[in-house]
């Protein structure tokens, strides 16, 4: 769901994209097993999509150049894709704003990191078909005067925030009438801390992040306006989540899509439910 990139970064990224052409399976590094390595970038700090843990519990994968492991929905998906396509998997931990530049430069082969398939990003990278569909929700604390809100207009006047560089902050919060929008938070965990501490009345995020938050913060309540006449107005591109690859790397793009084509929405939801059930209680 996170989608915005600073203007200066866009200029730098576009410059890089002119230098690098698409790659193929033969271009990727080889592992000790002799199989090609699929280098997958993610934040490793965005539960339930991805997170960092200290052991390989539940099938977590070692993070490159680290003693820690990554797991979550994105890792589950990366493992499935690597297995089906005959790759060994390497997880590369990067900051959110570094994901697209890393794909462009060829530092990684793809990013599986909860990225929405926006027209803005499609100018720089190619995307697979969606590997998740995420609706927009709000979180409030139990006992909040907004706890029983039935729509966006019932949130009028709320003090709120969300994560920096997201449609949650840039597109959704301004739709709340007379909202007191505080500065954006650097990460999803920081956003949840702001709500839990009472600094804000609500935060806006997507459904999986909200469901994961309820595990870590049982005092929070989830507001879902989907299906109502007073929901947040977002486009399909802002809620369709895809895997980004370097432009021209049609072999990898087609390969990943061939795996995704075997999965259904029910499969996506089952995997996400599993990720939420085993996530650490705090990130």
Residue 2 falls within a domain, yes or no?
Answer: no
Q: How far apart, in whole angstroms, are the C-alpha atoms of residue 40 and residue 91? A: 5
Residue 1 falls within a domain, yes or no?
Answer: no
Reduced 3-state DSSP string for the chain: CECCCCHHHHHHHHHHHHHCCCCCHHHCCECCCCCEEEEEEECCCECCCEEEECCCHHHCEEECCCCCEEECHHHHHHHHHHHHHCCEEEEEECCHHHHHHHHHHCCCCEEEEEEECCHHHHCCEEECCCCEECCEEEEEECCCCCCCCCCHHHHCCCEEECECCEHHHHHHHHHCCCCEECCCECCHHHHHHHHHCCCCCEEEEEHHHHHHHHHHCCCEEEECCCCCCCCCCCCHHHCEEEEEEECCCHHHHHHHHHHHCCCCHHHHHHHHHHHHHHCCCCC
Residues 259 and 188 placed together within one structural domain of the fold:
no
CB atoms under 10 Å from CB of 273, counted, come to 13
Residues 177 and 87 placed together within one structural domain of the fold:
no
Instruction: Give residue-wise pLDDT tens across range 45-68.
Output: 888 999 999 999 999 999 999 999
Residue 149 falls within a domain, yes or no?
Answer: yes
End-to-end, the C-alpha distance of the chain in Å comes to 18
Please give the mean pLDDT across all residues of the chain: 89
Q: What is the pLDDT of residue 1?
A: 55
Residues 120 and 256 placed together within one structural domain of the fold:
yes
Q: For the chain, what is the domain count?
A: 2
Residues 156 and 178 placed together within one structural domain of the fold:
yes
Last residue of a domain, one of 235, 250, 270: 235
Residues 210 and 124 placed together within one structural domain of the fold:
no
Residues 93 and 209 placed together within one structural domain of the fold:
no
pLDDT confidence tier of residue 96, bands split at 50, 70 and 90: confident
Is the pLDDT at 20 greater than 50? The verdict is no
Residues 185 and 261 placed together within one structural domain of the fold:
no
Residues 199 and 245 placed together within one structural domain of the fold:
no
Residues 125 and 141 placed together within one structural domain of the fold:
no
Q: How far apart, in whole angstroms, are the C-alpha atoms of residue 234 and residue 78? A: 27
Q: What is the pLDDT of residue 238?
A: 79
Residue 181 falls within a domain, yes or no?
Answer: yes
Instruction: Give residue-wise pLDDT tens across range 191-245.
Output: 999 999 999 999 999 999 999 999 889 999 999 999 999 999 998 887 899 999 9
Last residue of a domain, one of 217, 235, 253: 235
- CA 149 to chain CA mean position, Å: 26
Residue 157 falls within a domain, yes or no?
Answer: yes
Do 37 and 29 form a contact (C-beta atoms < 8 A)? yes
Residue 66 falls within a domain, yes or no?
Answer: yes
Q: What is the pLDDT of residue 62?
A: 98
Residues 189 and 243 placed together within one structural domain of the fold:
no
Residues 216 and 244 placed together within one structural domain of the fold:
no
Where residue 147 sits, what CATH number does that domain have? 3.40.190.10
Residues 80 and 46 placed together within one structural domain of the fold:
yes
Q: How far apart, in whole angstroms, are the C-alpha atoms of residue 38 and residue 54? A: 22
Residue 283 falls within a domain, yes or no?
Answer: no
Residue 260 falls within a domain, yes or no?
Answer: yes
Q: How far apart, in whole angstroms, are the C-alpha atoms of residue 180 and residue 174? A: 9
Domain that holds residue 206: 136-235
């Amino acid at each position: 769901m996170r989608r915005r990139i600073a203007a200066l970064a866009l200029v730098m990224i576009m410059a890089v994209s002119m230098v690098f052409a698409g790659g193929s399976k033969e271009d990727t590094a080889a592992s000790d097993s002799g199989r090609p390595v699929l280098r997958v970038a993610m934040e490793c700090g965005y539960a339930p999509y991805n997170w960092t843990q200290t052991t390989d519990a539940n099938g977590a994968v070692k993070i490159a150049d680290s003693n820690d492991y990554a797991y979550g929905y994105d890792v589950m998906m990366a493992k499935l894709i690597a297995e089906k396509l005959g790759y060994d998997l390497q997880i590369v931990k990067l900051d959110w704003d570094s994901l697209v530049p890393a794909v462009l430069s060829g530092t990684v082969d793809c990013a599986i990191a909860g990225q929405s398939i926006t027209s803005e990003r499609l100018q720089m990278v190619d995307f697979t078909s969606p590997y998740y569909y995420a609706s927009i929700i709000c979180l409030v604390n139990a006992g909040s005067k907004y706890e029983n809100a039935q729509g966006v207009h019932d949130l009028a006047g709320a003090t709120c925030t969300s994560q920096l560089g997201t449609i949650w902050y840039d597109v959704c919060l301004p739709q709340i009438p007379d909202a007191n929008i505080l500065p954006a938070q650097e990460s999803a965990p920081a956003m949840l801390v702001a709500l839990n501490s009472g600094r804000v009345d609500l935060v806006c995020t997507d459904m999986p992040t909200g469901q994961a938050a309820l595990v870590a913060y049982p005092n929070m309540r989830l507001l879902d306006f989907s299906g109502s006449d007073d929901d947040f107005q977002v486009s399909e591109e802002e809620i369709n989540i895809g895997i980004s690859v370097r432009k021209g790397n049609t072999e990898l793009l087609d390969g990943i899509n061939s795996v995704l084509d075997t999965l259904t929405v029910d499969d996506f939801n089952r995997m996400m439910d599993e990720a939420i059930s085993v996530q650490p209680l705090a990130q």
